[in-house]
A and B are shown apart, each in its own frame.
Chain A
Amino acid sequence: MERQGREARMTRRRSTSTRRKGARSVVLSRVIWIVWTVVTGSSIAGWIIPGMPLVGPLIQQVLGNKTVNEILSDERVNKVIDLAPDEAWQGKLGFLKKKLREHQAAVHATSGAGYQVPTVPGAQVPTYPGATSAARVAKSAQTIRIASYNIEVFGTTKMGKPWVVETLAQVVRHFDIVAIQEIRTQDDQLMPTFLAVVNADGSRYDYVIGPRVGRTISTEQYAFVYDTQRIEVDRSSVASMSDPADMLHREPLVARFRTRSSGAGLPFSFWLVNIHTDPDEVASEVDVLAGVFQVMQAARADEDDVILLGDLNANEHQLGLLGQLPGITWVVSGITTNTRKTKTYDNILFNRFATSEFTGRWGVVDVQSVFRLTMDQALEVSDHFPVWAEFHVYESAPMQHTAQLPGYFFQ
């Protein structure tokens, strides 16, 4: 009798537990579906077109510019996660987290706030230079954004297309520094002419440019374009790295920059190392870049921040010895950076312990979506998208190197 009673109680408990689990599963399904729909569905429009009636403001209000980490650390989202009744649901939530992270990358890719659409062929062509002068870009006083942009064959052809130049200028104005690869022209007036377009809206950008590098008569130049109101460069530091053993097709251009900030903190200073690898020798060149990175880390006793950025022709799994340096990390992961959206070529790397100024925000600018271009028009701008990362304007104390962490920020 006692045994039968115990079994009956256990059966009731199981039954109650099953009912509760069933009810929680239904609730959980709905909550996940709502979160997923809000975050990935209607919010795409909300993010891309903040002025869209109802949906845009609503999504902006709910999510603002939150990163995935912020969304996932949101108490409300964690409560949903706590509802998981069993491993199966935890698996589903894990999938949701993964999708959120992928979507965050897509959000970075499609965020177009602040951009204006230049006139493209087929409509009225603007008077050169910079007829569609965009409103000045509002930048945070607390952070800077550093970008890398391979502007495929940046030369006379592109400068002859005003809408392409205006598009490139608008991209530049959204960043404090842009490391440019693939300037291919013998015309030394290209960059001054381009800067005139960038500054046509009252901006005050300047640039430093490297020598023509390459092994054949087809050479390239690197450049850094920077906002002089927020950044200063140590011109004596600008140099093309020496490569006596000829290990790299295009020797990196290095320069040391510092933020201009009026606050009490120390301005954030850092080396930038601009690189475009040879697509036929990627494996050996990324190994050599590991040495380049270490050389730059030791270049000045008073500078611990080295940021290597450019067109590596390698994704996050193809970084060789560069990707194995102690503490090294990279921002672009799990998202393509070419205009055709088939490959990850471009990245920004630094030591996560030394460069703790990184805010965790990064992105790839989907030029095609932002400027509402056709694929062919987007390819006329470049076959690459710009990639960027955000840093605090003040120096932070280096983080304690306690463990070898994964090289991803969204893990």
Chain B
Amino acid sequence: MSDVTVLARQLQDKQASVRAQAAERLGRCGDAACVAVELVRACGDEEEVVREWAVAALEELGPPPASSLEPLCSLAAAAQELVAYWAVTLLGRAGPEAFAAAPALVSVLETSPHPAVRQRAAWALGRIRDQSAATIAALERVKSSGDPRLARLAAESLDNDRTASDFHSRTHACG
């Protein structure tokens, strides 16, 4: 079992100090992508210090591995703002690889009580370049939102989708 995996298990320890130390060490290890799901869960920890180090580790993380996309989809609907925010963020970082996450992200976009999570969902939909009617309709609806950031991100994601659509059209035409 690798050090990272051991640390990830320690994130669920009963003792807050053990969880905090594990989160801090994961934040420093630099290659924690394989425990992305555990780190996202740690964002819901009752201890502030655990949450902050989990966030620090997540900020440094690149795209999550494919095996974590499904659990991240579930976590995107979490009630805890920070958990949902980071699950959505990682799905966005995965890009088109997270294509199957589009329905979950649309749901978050339309139902999350947290503005920051809805904004990130709009951003993530642009990153995964989903062109389904449901996604485009959802983005169009929030484009006229009173939340200027949400409206702007939705507009940008729609532009991304159009660019992707144009690209695919050209690809097919060339093929």
Which chain A residues have a beta carbon within 8 Å of chain B's beta carbons? 152-153, 155-157, 184-186, 215-218, 244-247, 279-281, 340, 376, 379-380, 383
CB atoms of A280 and B92 under 8 A apart: yes
Within the complex, the shortest CB–CB distance from B151 to chain A, in Å, comes to 10
In the complex, 20 of the A-B residue pairs with CB atoms within 8 angstroms, ordered by the A residue number, are A152-B27, A153-B52, A153-B53, A155-B52, A184-B52, A184-B56, A215-B85, A216-B85, A216-B116, A217-B81, A218-B51, A244-B148, A245-B148, A245-B149, A246-B147, A247-B149, A279-B59, A280-B123, A281-B123, A376-B28
Contact of B119 among A157, A215, A376 (CB under 8 A): A215
Mask, B81-117, CB within 8 Å of A = 1, is 1100100010011000000000000000000001110
Q: Does B49 contact A (CB under 8 A)?
A: yes
Which residues of B lie under 8 Å from residue A217 when comparing CB positions?
51, 81-82
Most B C-beta atoms less than 10 A away, residue of A156, A218, A281: A218
Return the 9 tightest CB-CB contacts between A and B, nearest first: A246-B149, A215-B116, A379-B28, A184-B52, A218-B55, A153-B56, A245-B148, A216-B116, A153-B52
Contact of B27 among A153, A216, A218, A247 (CB under 8 A): A153
Mask, B18-32, CB within 8 Å of A = 1, is 001000100110100
Q: Report the Cα distance A156→B48, complex, angstroms.
A: 10
Which residues of A lie under 8 Å from residue B92 when comparing CB positions?
280
Which chain B residues have a beta carbon within 8 Å of chain A's beta carbons? 20, 24, 27-28, 30, 43, 48-49, 51-53, 55-56, 59-60, 81-82, 85, 89, 92-93, 114-116, 119, 123, 147-149, 152
Contact of B49 among A152, A156, A245, A279 (CB under 8 A): A156
Which residues of A lie under 8 Å from residue B81 when comparing CB positions?
216-217
**Do A152 and B56 contact each other (CB < 8 Å), given the known contacts A157-B24, A215-B119, A245-B149?**
yes
Within the complex, the shortest CB–CB distance from B26 to chain A, in Å, comes to 12
Which residues of B lie under 8 Å from residue A185 when comparing CB positions?
48, 52
Which residues of B lie under 8 Å from residue A281 when comparing CB positions?
123
Q: Is the interface of A mostly helix, strand, loop or mixed?
A: loop
Which residues of A lie under 8 Å from residue B147 when comparing CB positions?
246
CB atoms of B152 and A157 under 8 A apart: no
Q: Report the Cα distance A93→B53, complex, angstroms.
A: 48
Report the nearest B residue to A280, measured CB to CB. Answer: B89
Report the nearest A residue to B127, measured CB to CB. Answer: A280
Which residues of A lie under 8 Å from residue B28 when comparing CB positions?
376, 379-380, 383
CB atoms of B20 and A218 under 8 A apart: no
Q: Report the Cα distance A181→B115, complex, angstroms.
A: 24
Q: Report the Cα distance A280→B93, complex, angstroms.
A: 8
Q: Report the Cα distance A179→B53, complex, angstroms.
A: 21
CB atoms of B20 and A157 under 8 A apart: yes
Within the complex, the shortest CB–CB distance from B174 to chain A, in Å, comes to 28
